[in-house]
Structure 1
Amino acid sequence: MKHATIFLLYVSQYMKTRLTYRIDMLMEIMSDLLFQAVNLIFILVVFGHTDMLSGWSKDEIIFIYGFFLVPFAIFGAFFNIWDFNERYIVKGEMDRILTRPVHSLFQIILERMELESLFGVITGIAVMVYAGNRLDLNVSWYDPIVFVFMVLGGAFVYAGIFILLASISFWSDSRTSIMPMMYNIGNYGRYPVDIYNKVIRFVLTWILPFAFVGVYPSAYFLGREEWYVYAFLTPVMGVAFFGFAIFMWNIGVTKYRGAGN
């Protein structure tokens, strides 16, 4: 209850701050929508030269992209820690975080959240509905429940990976970071893994499991029965990676040496 109360207070203050500069917030939302539109156009351009991509149709790829946007939006809203190394380790703001009687990661999540990113959820669902109608997909009464679990699993996978990367900073305070590169690698989860070679497919499934953010959970709704095992592993992978990331974070905090003088 204490953490829930703190979270709601932070959200309230965040919204007051953002609504003070409404045009700025609107421009950020429009920028995100434009970025998503560019990626969608890229898919359309690719299918302007072919009807199928490794057995996947254009509408199926669009559906996968739409699904990917939903967990990615949740991740972007609450786990915006791409600059953790520079801000909290190199500049020493972690010292301030550790003086408070609340879990350090929870504080950083609250400080770095960008709730406007949640508009990506609306965009993603709209893209899924569009593609689903073109594919004549049937929706069962329990599919919305499955969808929620799949989305949360995908968001936790993304969050777990980047929390693990942030945890490395506790052992190495170098200014260099692999976060930008990892963001680019994460884009591979938007597309079916069977279009890649076996090595990349293995990496995207078990090492950096970005495939559980997009293609694997989407396979369930697309009726791709050969991928069902992976689809239902999505929540498991999410909990496992997120739990392991928290474990490594807690160990890393004990190794933190401070910014020095």
Structure 2
Amino acid sequence: MFYVKIFFQYMSQYIKTRLQYRTDIFVEFFSDLLSQAINLIFILVVFGHTQFLNGWNRDEIIFIYGFFLVPFAVFSAFFNIWDFNERYIVKGELDRILTRPIHSLFQIILERMELEALLGAITGLAVMLYAGLHLHINVEWYDPLLFIFFVIGGVLIYGGIFIMLACISFWADARTSLMPMMYNISNYGRYPVNIYNHIIRFVLTWILPFAFVGVYPAAFFLEKQEWFWYSFLTPVMGIIFFTISVILWNQGIKRYRGAGN
């Protein structure tokens, strides 16, 4: 309960701060919406030349993309650790974090949260609704619950992978380009994995499981029977990767010796 209370206190202060600059929120939302629109246009252009992509039609691909946007929006809101190396290791701000009686990772997540990114989830739901109506998807009573579990699993997968990348800074404090590279790789999870070769499919499933963020859980609602058991692995993969990332983080914190003078 202590951590829950701290979370809502941070959130309250963040909202008060951001509301002082309302125009910035609208600009950021518009830029995100424009980026997502460009991705949708790309899908439409592709399907302007073909009706199916390895067995997937246009509306199914759009539905997968919409689903992907929801966990990605939650991840973007709470796991902004792109500059962890430079800000917390090189500049020494981690020393400040470690003086407080709260888990260091929890503090950094709260410090760097950007709640306006959650607006991307609304866009994702709208895209799913659009595609779902065209596909005539039947919604069962348990689908909203499964949707929430799948989204949480996807967020934990994303968070776990990027926390692991941040942990590299505890052993090598040199600036690296792994974060942007991993972000680009994660984009492959927006599309069905069976359009890639076997090696890429294996990597996106078991090594860097970004396929569990988009295509596998979305395939459940699209009633793709061959992907059903993969979809139910989404929360499991999320728990596994996030747990490993926290363990690595705790080991890295033990190794950390401060910024020096």
Deviations 1:93-148 (A, max 9, x none): 11111111100000000000000000011100110010000001111011000100
SS state at 2:95 partner: helix
Equivalent residue, structure 2, for 1:56: 56
**Deviation string, structure 1 residues 65-114 (Cα, Å, up to 9, x no partner):** 00000000000001111111111111111111111110000000000000
3-state DSSP of counterpart to 2:233: helix
SS in 2 for 1:154: helix
The C-alpha deviation readout for 1:43-69, integer Å capped at 9, x for no partner, is 111111111101100000000000000
Question: 2:25 maps to what in 1?
Answer: 25
Is 1:144 aligned with 2:157? no
Q: Which residue of 1 aligns with 2:104?
A: 104
Task: Describe how 1:24-173 pairs up with structure 2 within 5 A.
Answer: 24-173=24-173
What is the alpha-carbon root mean square deviation over aligned residues?
Answer: 0.7
Secondary structure of the corresponding residue to residue 21 of structure 1 = helix
Q: Distance in 2 between matches of 1:60 and 1:237?
A: 24
Q: Which runs of 4+ in 1 moved over 6 A?
A: none
Tell me, in whole angstroms, the C-alpha distance in 2 between the residues paired with 1:57 and 1:14. Answer: 42
Matches of 1:258 and 1:26, distance apart in 2: 39
Aligned residue identity for 1:53: L
Partner amino acid, structure 2, of 1:19: L
- Length, aligned pairs only: 261
Q: CA deviation at 1:179?
A: 0.2
Gapped regions of structure 1 (runs ≥ 5): none
- List per-residue Cα deviations over 1:182-230 (Å, max 9, x = no partner): 0000000000000011111000000000000000000100000100110
User: Separation in 2 of the partners of 1:191 and 1:177?
Assistant: 24
Rounded Cα–Cα distance in structure 2 between residues aligned with 1:189 and 1:135 = 21
1:198 maps to a residue whose letter is: H
Tell me which residue corresponds to 2:213.
213
Structure 2 letter corresponding to 1:95: D
Residue aligning to 2:6: 6
Shift of 1:177: 3.2
CA distance in 2, matches of 1:170, 1:209: 24
How far apart, in 2, do the equivalents of 1:40 and 1:257 lie? 47
For the Cα contact (< 8 Å) 1:85–1:177, is it kept in 2?
no
Q: In the TM superposition, what whole-angstrom CA distance separates every residue of 1:208-260 from its partner, at most 9, and x where no partner exists?
A: 00000000000100000100110000010011111111111101111112222
What amino acid is the match of 1:63? F
- CA deviation vs aligned residue, 1:138-189 (integer Å, no higher than 9, x gap): 1101100010000100111000000111111101100123000000000000
Structure 2, unaligned runs of 5 or more: none
Structure 1 letter corresponding to 2:26: L
Matched position secondary structure for 1:217: helix
Preserved contact between residue 87 and residue 93 of structure 1 (Cα < 8 Å): yes
- Give the fraction of aligned pairs with identical amino acids, expressed as a percent: 72
